[in-house]
Amino acid sequence: MLADRPPFEDLYREYLGRIYAYIRAQVPTAADAEDISAQVFMNAYQAYGRFEPRNSTPAAWLFRIARNATLDHFRARGRRERLRRTIEHQPLAEEDPAAEAEERIQYRALLVQVAELPERQRDAISLRHSGLSFEEVGNLLGCSEDAAKMLYHRAIKALKEAVRKVEQ
Amino acid sequence: MSEQDDDLELRALKRELDDAFATTRPRRGFEDELWLRMQARRPLGSRLRDALGGLVQGIRAVPAVPTAAVAGLLVVVLGIGVLALSGVGRGGNAASTAGSAFNQGDTNHPPTLPGAFGRLPSPRLGSGSSAPPLPAAADPRQLVPGSGYVGPVNLTWAGKLTLDTPTLPVFRYHEPSTNAADQFASALGAVMQSRPGGLLGEYESSDYTLSIRGTVQAPAAEPTFVITAGPSMPEINAAGAAPSDIATLFLAEHSLVPQWPYTADVQSAGGASHVRLLRQFVAGPYGLAYLVDPQGDRYGLEVDLAGNKPTMATGPLPVTLEAASYPVISDGQAIGAALGSSAGGPGAPTVQLSQAEVVYVVVAAGDHSFYEPAFLFSGSFTVNGHAYLERILVPAVDPSQRSS
């Protein structure tokens, strides 16, 4: 273990909650968020030997894995749902009430509004309010720091409008 | 809707988002379950290696007992210093009312024991981004929320910064327990209803609900209480009184008038008022320094009013503060860090930073968190006829005192 690389358990304890919150803002159910969070940390655990702290902060590294896992989830879910609805005419998955009762979430309505934003706007808000700098958000979204700020600014205005419409 | 209302709404939404992401957490037990699953999937060889490593570490730990005893002694000595600072035994009005019982310890004490808290964690300024080591500025350019300008700028300095002190106080508080939150609520006459995830507790009285939250890690925020008025919340009977007086009367009725120094700021629109008691710290010889959030906005205890009726009040949960002085960077280093935080290049607007002040920011760190000094630089500039305000926060504590 390199001296400048903290034990993985430290990272796990520090970031699990933040990664979960980021994922939860993207997906409709707590069960999905748990599955993806588990996948993120399993992947990170396996890849930790290759993590280079000089190139990236642990937060940026973990959020990159989380973003990829969430996008994979949507791609796979899209395929599954399309197949299921075509063949079985089944409705979309709904939240399990028991899981919902156990979940620790205070701002469900607001996170639902965030989840309904276009993908990049949703990502900009979720990553920024998960504690990443604009430079890190830009790196993750493949754009400059200034473009990330612009995207965030547009996203927050869009969210405000969406919240206002719901309140009316 | 006016620009000011629009700006207030955006800021409120950002605060709500901060809270939403800071308090959304998986169900209890999930963290340990997943960790066990991850351990179970590791190859047997690496698990054995760790087990043997732990055994060797355990053997090595045996001679460390005398060191632990010395550490224990140091804790006792520091503990005596802390007790001496906490106001215990000073007489006065301690415990005479709910608020003062807590606020008594929530005052700024003269610093003692230079560097007594050991190495300090680095501030995360700018919604949680890690501050780079000094002399580089921490999350350099903080625009006023809602100002809209996001392009690069060139920075110049045309102000005057004279600190005249090589040290400034750092304040530390212990993370409040659910028990402390319950006592605070009970002293206000509110009864516990539940402990939802992310909160120390939710309580109710006949007129309002009270929520109490612990320290938020990112963006860093201190333990906070929120009072939300119910329909039966009575109006404050003070015909003709200014909003700031009405807010103070309401706080006094609930023994919540701050014991720390503050200045009042009032914004009113359409019968509604937002009263802010902006918190200050006694920064040694520098004098009073405002508390600011990672965006550089001053804050403190806030009361919303609809006419004479309080609708919401939120502020820092009173906690006992310990103080210790720490060496700070020089004026020149601070200015250099601020100017070095942006390189706009040709064509970018030039911002003339003209003001600098010492402020305090929250630095969250596990069981104990801190209020640390920082330099807040600001200057206005114009692009295409629109005026903007630029802010830069630079941590003041000398980098040699940082843990990382």
> What is the rounded CA–CA span in Å between residue B377 and residue B391?
6
Residues in chain A: 168
State residue A158's pLDDT score.
94
Q: Are B125 and B294 in contact (CB under 8 A)?
A: yes
Q: Which residue of B has its CA nearest to A11?
A: B35
pLDDT at A80 over 80: no
Task: Check whether B104 has a pLDDT greater than 80.
Answer: no
Confidence of residue B150 (pLDDT cuts 50, 70, 90): low
* Relative orientation angle of helices A134-141 and A145-167, to the nearest 10 degrees: 90
Structure tokens at A16: 């699990």
Please check the confidence at residue B69 and state whether its pLDDT lies above 80: no
What is the residue-averaged pLDDT of chain B?
Answer: 76
pLDDT confidence of residue A7: 86
Nearest CA in chain B to A137: B129
From the centroid of its chain, how far is CA B312?
Answer: 20
By Cβ distance, the residue of A9, A111, A134 closest to B24 is: A111
Neighbouring residues of B45: CB distance < 8 A, sequence distance ≥ 6: none
Cα separations in angstroms, B350 against A154, B143, B319 = 25, 14, 43
| For testing contact with chain A, the best of B1, B30, B293 (most A CBs within 10 A) | B30
pLDDT for B92 equals 30
CB contacts, 8 Å: A130 with chain B: 21, 128, 218
**HEC string of chain A?**
CCCCCCCHHHHHHHHHHHHHHHHHCCCCCHHHHHHHHHHHHHHHHHHHHHCCCCCCCHHHHHHHHHHHHHHHHHHHHHHHHHHHHHHCCCCCCCCCHHHHHHCECCCHHHHHHHHCCCHHHHHHHHHHHCCCCHHHHHHHHCCCHHHHHHHHHHHHHHHHHHHHHHHC
CA distance A17 to chain B (A): 5
Q: Which of A16, A125, A136 sits opposite B31 (nearest CB)?
A: A16
pLDDT tier at B84, thresholds 50, 70, 90 = very low
What's the average model confidence in pLDDT over A43-59?
86
Q: Do A129 and B198 touch (CB under 8 A)?
A: no
Q: Identify the residue with better confidence: B20 or B358.
A: B358
Mean pLDDT computed over B330-334: 92
Is the per-residue pLDDT at B128 higher than 60? no
pLDDT surpassing 70 at residue B403: yes
Which residue did the predictor score with more confidence, B60 or A102? Answer: A102
- Residue A98: its pLDDT value, please? 56
Output the six-digit token pair for A19.
């990664």
On the question of pLDDT at B12 being above 50, the answer is yes
Average pLDDT (B8-14) is 86
CB pair distance less than 8 Å for A153 and B150: yes
Judged by CB atoms closer than 8 Å, whether chains meet at B27 and A99 is answered as yes
CA atoms of A92 and A49, how far apart (whole Å): 39
At B195, is the pLDDT very low, low, confident or very high (cuts 50, 70, 90)? confident
| For residues B188-209, average pLDDT | 89
Strand partners, B273: B268, B305
Largest CA distance in chain A: 56
Query: Nearest chain A Cα to B21, which residue?
Result: A21
**C-alpha pair distances (Å), B309 with each of B65, B190, B252:** 60, 19, 15
Which residues in chain A have their CB less than 8 angstroms from residue B14's CB?
129, 156
Give A133's contacts in chain B (Cβ within 8 Å).
Answer: 126-130, 139
CB atoms within 10 A of CB B333: 17
Q: A125 at the B interface (CB within 8 A)?
A: yes
pLDDT band for position B59 (cuts 50, 70, 90): very low
Phi (first) and psi of residue A64, to 5 degrees: -65, -45
Compare CB distances from A105 to B13, B24, B42 and report the shortest one's residue.
B24
Comparing C-alpha atoms, which of A32, A157, A167 is closest to residue A109?
A167
Of the candidates A20, A34, A132, the beta carbon closest to that of B129 is on A132
Provide the pLDDT for residue A159: 93
Measure in Å the smallest separation between the Cα of A43 and chain B Cα atoms: 10
Mean pLDDT of A3-14: 81
Q: Which of A13, A102, A150 lies closest to B27 in CB terms?
A: A102
**A69 CB near a chain B CB, below 8 Å?**
no
Provide the pLDDT for residue A51: 85
pLDDT more than 70, % of chain B: 74
Tokens read off for B122 = 């680095």
Asked if the model's pLDDT at residue B321 lies above 50, the reply is: yes
